[in-house]
Structure 1
Amino acid sequence: MSVPVIDFSAFRNGTENERQELANRLVDEFKKHGATRLVNHRVIGDTIQKAYQWSEKFFQIPESEKEVIANIRDANPQRGYSYVGSEATSKANKRGEDGEFEICEDDDVAQDLEDVKEHFDYTRDGDPDFPTPWPSEASIPGFHNWMEGVFLPECQRLARDVLAAIELGLGLSEGTLTGCMESRVDELRIQRYPPLSTEKLKTGKIKRCHPHTDFGFITLLFQDATGGLEIEDRANGGWLPVVPTGAPTEVGVYISDTLVYKTNGHLKAAVHQVTAPVSLKDKEDGVLPERYTIALFAKADRHAHIGPLPQFVTTETPQHFPDLTALELHNKRVGQLYDARPGAAVPVVAKA
């Protein structure tokens, strides 16, 4: 059992009945897993492959140039380069008394768990509030123009297609979700996981990425062939490996916190982690190979209210979530990663 792969072509090219059937299937899968995988959508395989090529080039630029564009570790949206160990996803979620993962509101989580990954986060040019610090054109010619001008818009359009399908599958009016995404504040992340020994994994303190949920409406996740991604198995407990199929357009879709708020928990966020690939699970002296992923975090407009929609609040299911703005939720969640929540001191962390 794993996350299914769904042909998405019918949503753009099918009949009204075919679109509805596809939308219903998507929502059914999201209710089971919080996630699914799509193929044959609007982003072609050659474009995805080129994004990986640019990612590899970026992480090869000198450390001194990455430091110039370093992400500021506060509660604001992430922008620029984050070094290995900078982000602590273990602080974002914890298991509640009912055994389910929930947003962590306190420090009742292990504080010494490390993520072994580095990443570069960016948004569209012209964002007046949180601009992206890009590497210089001299250090990586063409990177900025293609990643921001070509790849980001392609991913944004796909995310809106998926959210339109979710609207249809949930019986919501067209634009209920996509209508509060007009400012295009989605964020795109290219991410590299350096080689890691299985011996270090066995300590329990280190993972490529600890269990967590993402913060936006949905996440689109492209992963290379390395493996190691897992999602929580809600039906049986434990974890389900998301083994890449090799399909050139395969992309994972993960329900994230904002959509949980909007649906009052009708859809639950996908809890996921990155650990050893299946083939290395029982190796005592193995080495996890280098791994690359690309994620589009599809976000609501920053000042859009993301409290539960009226149709999801009933006598049987009273309102579970406050009516925050998308930026308020985002600040809360990012602040947890960096110990920058209101009232929390932000430690000065030296680069390893």
Structure 2
Amino acid sequence: MDARSESIPVLDLREARADDGSFNAAFIRKLRDAAHEVGFFQLIGYGAAQGMVDDVFDVTRRFFELPLDDRLKLDNRKSPHFRGYTRLGHEITKGRPDAREQLDFGPERPALSDYPADQPYWLVQGPNLWPDEALPELRQVSMEWARLMSDVGDELLKAVSVALELPEDHFAEAFEGTPAWMAKLVHYVGGVVEEAGNQGVGAHADYGFVTLLLQDHVGGLEVRPAESDDWIPVEPIPGALVVNLGEMLEVATQGYLLATIHRVQAPPPGIDRYTIPFFWSPRLDAVIDPVILPPALAEQARGISDDPDNPMLASYGANVLKGWLRAHPEVARIHHPHLVESGQE
């Protein structure tokens, strides 16, 4: 392993807590350093049952091997909630198409038809689209994975709170009842989407709290830490989760924690890459207050690395709606033209 890959720390969740249930100081130090200096780390020992990783990759591959007509039955253009299947080259990052296709899903909740006009983010809540006829096991395997990732995300957020010298339940209220987590099954295909070039996914930061990514052996994920112009590859570790923090934590800590910019290079033509990202996120109506950092940490806060064309927001619902409208302009135009016209994208 070269020096660049070694700069992405590896943490073991089995070392997180002592026998008395409290967090281990050594684990907290490693987590704090990773979250402040790099904004990315890899996580092992997170409790996946034997064969679970293989099962989720297997069902993901089989979904993308279905005939296109079967996948298009789940076309996300049918969903006002941005759920379902996105065709190759039809998700947009930084104004360019990405060289990937994907299936987006989230908590199974009914759509809301009555919500305040100043809270349009409630429209992202709604039913998932599943291939129950063509691949019935996909729903069960995917939702079992999401349940495990919810537990891992919750535990890591508690550890982040302790690393900030806060009670471990500091962020708990924002997640009570109906956390609006999101997940994807993703297939990268190089050399097919001409407009994408080598862009698997363009450079961006995630807009939630904690991202947990399961990546296969192909690689292509790169990160650019703060105050650096260098892109660092995140070398695949079999079964490990790649963890990064989102904009909500950067905003809350005035930049002490990083929502690190990252991108994915498309694989070479003829090579398939599969990933399963999970975004541990609070309720849609959660607004995150600034964290009062202890003086030693406050001195190291960088301030928010805001993009004037894509500002970070303290309202989770506003942040996620902004992201969906930009990433899926066709869905926005079909189902939410009033939001496009009002400039909320």
TM range (shorter): 0.7 to 0.9
Aligned to 1:126: 109
Contact (CA 8 Å) 1:43, 1:155: kept in 2 or not? no
Aligned to 1:302: 284
Change beyond 3 A, Cα 1:196–1:294: same
Provide the C-alpha distance between the structure 2 equivalents of 1:81 and 1:323, rounded to a whole number of angstroms: 27
- TM-score of the superposition, structure 1-length normalised? 0.78
Residue aligned with 1:269, SS: coil
Provide the C-alpha distance between the structure 2 equivalents of 1:266 and 1:42, rounded to a whole number of angstroms: 29
2:59 matched to 1:69?
no
Aligned to 2:12: 7
Change beyond 3 A, Cα 1:177–1:205: same
Residue type at the aligned position of 2:186: Q
Residue aligned with 2:71, SS: helix
Number of aligned residues: 310
2:55 matched to 1:50?
yes
Residue aligned with 1:196, SS: coil
Provide the alpha-carbon RMSD of the alignment. Answer: 3.2
1:257 pairs, out of 247, 251, 254, with: 247
Change beyond 3 A, Cα 1:132–1:65: farther
1:1-352 alignment to 2 at 5 Å?
A: 1-2=4-5, 3-12=8-17, 19-44=24-49, 46-72=51-77, 78-90=82-94, 111=95, 113-129=96-112, 130-148=125-143, 150-182=144-176, 183-196=178-191, 205-234=197-226, 236-246=228-238, 248=239, 250-275=240-265, 287=269, 289-311=271-293, 324-339=314-329, 340=332, 344-345=340-341
Residue type at the aligned position of 1:167: S
Provide the C-alpha distance between the structure 1 equivalents of 2:159 and 2:45, rounded to a whole number of angstroms: 15
Aligned to 2:118: none
Contact (CA 8 Å) 1:195, 1:288: kept in 2 or not? yes
Residue aligned with 1:208, SS: strand
Change beyond 3 A, Cα 1:322–1:312: farther
Provide the C-alpha distance between the structure 2 equivalents of 1:232 and 1:63, rounded to a whole number of angstroms: 35
Change beyond 3 A, Cα 1:328–1:228: same
Contact (CA 8 Å) 1:194, 1:289: kept in 2 or not? yes
Residue type at the aligned position of 1:256: G
Change beyond 3 A, Cα 1:66–1:28: same
Change beyond 3 A, Cα 1:307–1:319: farther
Provide the C-alpha distance between the structure 1 equivalents of 2:203 and 2:313, rounded to a whole number of angstroms: 26
Change beyond 3 A, Cα 1:343–1:159: closer
1:243-285 superposed Cα distances (whole Å, 9 cap, x missing partner): 1133x3x1110111111122222212021111156xxxxxxxx
Change beyond 3 A, Cα 1:231–1:216: same
**CA shift at 1:39, angstroms?**
0.6
Identity %: 22
1:213-245 superposed Cα distances (whole Å, 9 cap, x missing partner): 111101000100001111014454220011113
Residue type at the aligned position of 1:159: G
- TM-score of the superposition, structure 2-length normalised? 0.79
Contact (CA 8 Å) 1:260, 1:267: kept in 2 or not? yes
Residue aligned with 2:103, SS: strand
